[in-house]
Structure 1
Amino acid sequence: MPSPRLRRAAVLVLEGAKPLDVGIPAQVFTTRASMPYEVRVCGAAPGLVTGGDGLSYHVAHGLDALAWADLVFLPGYRSPDVEDPPRTVLDALTAAHDRGARLAAISTGAFALAATGLLDGRRATTHWHYTRALAAKHPGVRVDENVLFVDEGSVLTSAGAASGIDLCLHILRGDLGVAASNHAARRLVAAPYRSGGQAQYVPRSVPEPLGERFAATREWALRRLGEPLTLETLARHAAVSARTLSRRFVEDTGYTPMQWVMRARIDLARELLERSERGVEQIAAEAGLGTGANLRLHFQRILGTTPSEYRRTFARGE
């Protein structure tokens, strides 16, 4: 049988592009056995593009890459609130979107996406330093400054550079499943899952070592998802009160402790559905969800699909 067509991803390098923002999608989606994507780095025209932070880029492709791509990344760039990208770039982005491509902005790349008008009436985010500027320049956009990324289906936006990794892993989870996303996260030495709804930053007057303590508790819980886990159990491991754990946990992860445990169990169930032939009842028990009915209930609530449909979509070898 012929090999399936690689998914096509374009990374659009604008004047003043930030190096991390360019490099993240180019590296995450680079073609390899576990990553069935072809990546083209492009600009308004082939050739040299002056970037930010003392770097420049030599891109092999022009805007024709946007007509080719299924997924277009818009890395952040310097002074986005001063001048919009050229009209030819905005028109090419709009045409790609109209053709069915997804457009994903990292950091201040949201300004270029907003300049097309495609974010009007939709939620979006950008780096926290620029959220007010984005709202002022594009009042039709519902700017959310307290999230890591926003998925509006055909248009996606993320906060600063590191959250670009979160956005890329989120896209991978949707395209290829949680196992592929976790594999990519391990390759990048990155957190495998951070909620898009997690706050960009949590200002504290006095830094406290609670983040590290809770990270250890999360790791501890991940190794015991099949066992009973309660708020009191987690608080006891973290050596804090249940009330303190609840408050701080939301700040760190965007979820309450038990919401986080439920999502971790669903992710474990997803991996077992992808990688094993176990039945739904067995998977539910191994993931700490009790019964198949309970697994189906939470699977539908969180993922909007059923375990059997998920397995048909993402099972290994399909």
Structure 2
Amino acid sequence: MKLRTISASFVHEALECARGYGAPTEPLLAAAGLPPSVQEPVSAEQYGALWLAIARAIDDEFFGLGGRPMRVGSFTLLCHCVLHAGTLEQALQRALRFLGVVLDDPSGNLVTGDGLAQIVLTDRGAARSAFAYRTYWIILHGIACWLVGRRIPVRLVDFRCAEPSRSTDYRLFFGAPVRFDQPVSRLAFDEVFLKLSTIRSERALKQFLRGAPANILVRYRYDAGLVADVRARLHRLSPTAWPGFEEMARQMRLPESTLRHRLHQEGQTYTSVKDEIRRGLAIDWLLHGTRSVSEIASELGFTEPSAFHRAFKKWTSRSPGAYRRGAGRA
């Protein structure tokens, strides 16, 4: 799967943070393999390299946007802190305490209820920029997805700050309902994910850190395990030709019970793997292709366009047409 691109507006916001500390921007852009003027989207690797270059220049991995600087090396320590937490809930609690100590402000809390898990941020003073909150979510959500070995779909994102001029970029980035001028900043996902086990080892962490922060910008790359094998098999076929669960187990030479159990250990089911691929294809085709919504529904294996509309709205809280129109405005 290709790494997603990052809007040029996020590059400009990152550079603005560096300028605030007197760091010249051209060397930072050059270190990331970017031209002196960025007007087009950049790859996740390029943005990740820019993030690292800025962090080294100002000794702050949080772009200077916290109450205290997040000194270079803090992200690595954070990952070690949560690696053996046991469950995602315990890992998030550790991560929030760690970030609270390092940044001092904002502080985050995990709140559960009504089937949602919410990371709620509290500022001591005035609201921070949308870019600051986005950076916090990227760090926390990216580590969480990696720890449990799967994508954790975001259900909603609220920003305490006013709506920025390029708010559409924020909505497209999260792929979930985004609101500004809210009482608090929060990111929510389904509460059931809190019970997932953390599955990563020290060896896996070393590999993860070599690819950070580019790999957290895409909110988990499917890099290992049985889920990766299933995904690779499905990617080689059109969704209309995907085998049923029993046939997939036969092709993988596994008993159905074993395949089901091992997928569950990695926090997935066969249906959820297929849905995530369909979601990715649907978004890619809506943003970059010329297929009609009906054609996309058919190619994804939906018997009726209405079924695709319902599924897409469940994935993104927007209809396919509304999602495509939002991309056009961006």
Give TM-score scaled by structure 1 length: 0.48
Greater RCO, CA 8 A, separation 6+: 2
Structure number with higher helix proportion: 2
